[in-house]
Amino acid sequence: MTTDAFPDLHAHIAGLMDAARAVVAPLETGVVAVVERPKQAQHGDYACNVAMQLAKPLKRNPREIATALIAAIPPSPYIDKAEIAGAGFINLFLKPAIKRAIVPYILARGTHFGDAAVKSTAKVQVEFVSANPTGPLHVGHGRGAAFGASLANVLTAAGFDVQREYYVNDAGRQMDILALSTWLRYLQLSNVEVAFPPNAYQGDYVKAMAQALRLQDSKRYLREAGEVYASAPDTVTDAELRLDQLIINAKFLLGADYAVIHAHALRTQLDGCREELAAFGVSFDCWYSEQSLYASGKIERAIARLQSGGHLFVKDGATWFRSTAFGDEKDRVVCRENGQFTYFASDIAYHLDKIERGFTRVIDVWGADHHGYIPRVKGALAALGTNPGQLEVALVQFAVLYRGGAKVSMSTRSGEFVTLRELRTEVGNDAARFFYVLRKSDQHLDFDLDLAKSQSNDNPVYYVQYAHARVCSMLAQWGGDATSLRTTDPSPLTAESESVLLSRLSEYPVVIENAARELSPHLVAFYLRELAADFHSYYNGTRLLVPEEPLKHARIALAVAVRHVLRNGLAVLGVSAPEKM
């Protein structure tokens, strides 16, 4: 075997077991041979439960079926033996030579180990973060950013052509509230006595935007307080109506200058968002403007297409999409009585545009509170004549911060929130990126700030990075040329701890494949912790720099292979691999 090729052992063994199933139970074509890695090394390198799956349809004892399956396994150059365990599991053991061959293969592949050998023709778009540009990114946005970026990296490693997109909500009421908030703070700074609405945006960043606006022109946007609050209801029960009236007044009083203030607020927040994400190691190929959907007429065309298909109806002066016909709990308004399109209408046009741009798969990363939005968007795509299965939605639960054992509260409009920048400053990018993907995205995440800052084995990112740094330290002590290890003979690696490491290293490509299929980058984080644990155990119990040259070089080569995989996996998660700690 050459160092530029390595068999897909998982697929190979699954094929062997399926061939054996075809001999023992030729009629049971619906039974799939599931092959997994056992948790304990003594149970082999792979385990298969197909005998137990066949027990019911064949009405036979699973251990008896397992015996027949083992006898029917085709000859393989990689399998050493197969054994029956428990109720009927089949444990398969690889030949030591093929396990050791992973080391020179990893050294030859380097940064590309784990990447799919065959590239997919599927063009995939991952849209994530897409936070309203109405304030600084907070820790909740941070989890979506870390997850989306890691997911895009996983899909790229799995061979997909991936485009990363941020949908900019630069149209609609929230941006109007931000523009109004900025203007009212401008008036206050100019000594105009206006009461600031409690349901407007309260943060200090709004005052900063107002101050910048005042420095540009201290008098241009001045208006009398009476004009600002004309016709605005003043009761607590009408707080939102009051806000809407203030927006109407601002647009009337400022005329064309309202667009200037709106653009100033949007540009300031969007620039800050770009800079913050870039500093977090998150980049996008496309920043897609919601406003462009209006300007290009794409919303009107999408709604007209739904109308021509008979999927709209008028009720109470508004135009509704018959969403219940596609599994939604109720029908949805796409155009209000006043003729304005809803957010849902722009979302319909946006997702249609994604499909028309040629993406085979469209993956949206949404907050978990948007779960109910999935059937209506998929329903709209179906009504438009596209395949709703092209849209996949990954839900991300909120991240809850804890400091000193106490929960840290946050809110957006009130301005009482922990920004992503504050989190990065406190714990660092690496800890933030790793901790964010330590749980499946749709599970709640408790983010322990104290743990993330600690330099201990309890801190998972420190534990993984320290394994990488240990290899680098050992290489410095050795003083040899790491590139020369590519031709090292790995046959001296016969210890049980080395066998465990070899098995773990060979799992990495399968982990990437599974993470891509399940949209679950947390699988990579889990794997890295397990690899680091295996290496720390090996390092603590084994002398690597022994006098015997063949054994020394083999062990150094194994350690370097570990370093490659740790570095590759950390890169997928957007985490650095330090050489010293």
The pLDDT of residue 235 is above 70: no
Report which secondary-structure segment, H or E, holds 465.
helix 460-478
| pLDDT given at position 39 | 83
Tokens linked to 279: 């500093």
pTM of the complete model: 0.92
Instruction: Give the type of residue at 345.
Output: A
The pLDDT of residue 121 is above 60: yes
What residues pair up with 400 in beta bridges, in sequence order?
446
Length of the chain (residues): 581
| pLDDT given at position 415 | 52
Per the prediction, the chain carries an average pLDDT of 94
What dihedral angle (degrees, nearest 10) is formed by the CA atoms of 37, 43, 44, 45?
Answer: 10
User: 416-428, pLDDT tens digit by residue?
Assistant: 678 899 999 999 9
Query: Three-state DSSP class for 364?
Result: strand
d(CA 497, CA 531): 12
Residue located via tokens 């298969």: 48
Neighbouring C-beta atoms of residue 73, cutoff 10 Å? 17
Residues 439-474, buried b or exposed e (16+ Cβ, 10 A)? bbbeeebebbbebbeeeeeebbbbbbbbbbbbbbeb
> SS3 sequence, 188-199?
HHCCCCCCCCCC
CATH says 457-572 is which class? mainly alpha
| pLDDT given at position 70 | 97
Averaged pLDDT for residues 439-445: 94
Residue 413 — very low, low, confident or very high, per pLDDT cuts 50/70/90? very low
Query: Three-state DSSP class for 291?
Result: helix
Domain 9-94, CATH:
3.30.1360.70
Non-local (6+) Cβ contacts of 56 within 8 A are none
The pLDDT of residue 117 is above 90: no
Residue 7 — very low, low, confident or very high, per pLDDT cuts 50/70/90? confident
d(CA 4, CA 290): 47
Query: Three-state DSSP class for 571?
Result: helix
Residue 236 — very low, low, confident or very high, per pLDDT cuts 50/70/90? low
Averaged pLDDT for residues 244-257: 96
Burial of 378 (0-12, 13-18, 19+ CB in 10 A): buried
The pLDDT of residue 1 is above 70: no
pLDDT above 70: percentage of residues in the chain: 97
Residue located via tokens 């496309």: 286
Start-end of H helices in 404-448: 420-427, 429-436
CA angle 67/73/78 to nearest 5° reads: 125
> SS3 sequence, 109-160?
HHHHCCCCCCCCCCEEEEECCCCCCCCCCEHHHHHHHHHHHHHHHHHHHCCC
User: 346-400, pLDDT tens digit by residue?
Assistant: 999 999 999 999 999 999 999 999 999 999 999 999 999 999 999 999 999 988 9
Structural domain boundaries in the chain: 9-94, 173-271, 457-572
d(CA 110, CA 125): 27
| pLDDT given at position 408 | 83
The pLDDT of residue 126 is above 50: yes
Query: Three-state DSSP class for 312?
Result: strand
- 457-572 matches 9-94 in CATH topology: no
Strands 89-94 and 79-85, sheet pairing: antiparallel
Report which secondary-structure segment, H or E, holds 335.
strand 332-335
| pLDDT given at position 411 | 55
Tokens linked to 474: 């050992």
Query: Three-state DSSP class for 316?
Result: coil
| pLDDT given at position 5 | 72
